[in-house]
């Protein structure tokens, strides 16, 4: 596997509110106006046509904890650019690559899942955690930018027979993951003119 991408482009949503950077060899699918509940509905795919992340806005953000599961934090980074003015009393958005469930499971199946994206949940402090909640506040309600880790889409080195969550940890060491992380953490309020929608 090669190094992380060095040539990047910038995409701005059709409503002109959010921008992010992405590798120039990847593409953005933006069927503007086709989201069933309004809002933005954008997919990012790599050069092989495999989806790397989805951006959705106008998402309902309410959540309940439910059953706690064994928890693994693989990666985390604060995202100050998305912090809402006047929300100092809330948890700021963070990029996370995290997992829940059975560490010996061969593949993902509820409740075993790993996912990367943006959350506003406070950092977990114990060995178990509530179900994943990778949403952040964005007018008029909330938004998401990320996706579940899938070894069929997310190119992962090592023994294919490794448990699913072991593969997720390995994926975090790849150049592809570094590109995914850089893309998602570049999400910010848009400034300047709106780009042409991607084809």
Q: How far apart are CA 78 and CA 52, in angstroms?
A: 21
Q: Which pLDDT score, from 0 to 100, does residue 8 have? A: 97
| 3.30.70, 3.40.1000, 3.40.50, 3.30.310: CATH of 8-82+90-189 | 3.40.1000
CB atoms within 10 A of CB 164: 22
| Domain map (residue ranges) of the chain | 8-82+90-189
The DSSP secondary-structure symbol of 10 reads E
Highest mean predicted confidence (pLDDT) among 2-16, 29-43, 82-96: 2-16
Q: How many residues belong to the chain? A: 199
pLDDT in tens, 129-163: 988 889 998 888 899 999 999 999 999 999 999 99
pTM across the whole model? 0.89
Structure-token pair, residue 65 = 């904890």
Structure-token pair, residue 4 = 């992380």
């Amino acid at each position: 596997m090669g190094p992380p991408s060095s040539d990047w482009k910038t995409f701005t949503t059709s409503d002109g509110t959010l921008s992010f950077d992405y590798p120039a060899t990847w593409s953005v699918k933006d069927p503007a106006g086709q989201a069933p509940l309004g809002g933005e509905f954008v997919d990012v795919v790599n050069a092989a046509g495999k989806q790397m992340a989805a951006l959705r806005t106008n998402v309902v953000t309410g959540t309940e904890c439910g059953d706690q599961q064994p928890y693994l934090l693989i990666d985390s980074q604060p995202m100050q650019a998305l912090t809402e003015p006047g929300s100092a009393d809330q948890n700021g958005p963070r990029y996370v690559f995290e997992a829940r469930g059975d560490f010996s499971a061969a593949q993902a199946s509820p409740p075993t899942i790993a996912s990367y994206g943006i959350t506003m949940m406070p950092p977990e402090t114990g060995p178990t955690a509530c179900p994943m909640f990778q949403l952040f506040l964005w007018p008029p309600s909330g938004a998401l930018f990320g996706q579940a880790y899938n070894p069929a889409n997310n190119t992962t080195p090592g023994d294919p027979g490794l448990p699913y969550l072991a593969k997720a940890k390995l994926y975090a060491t790849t150049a592809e993951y570094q590109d995914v992380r850089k893309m998602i953490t570049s999400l910010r309020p848009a400034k300047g003119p709106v780009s042409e929608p991607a084809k």
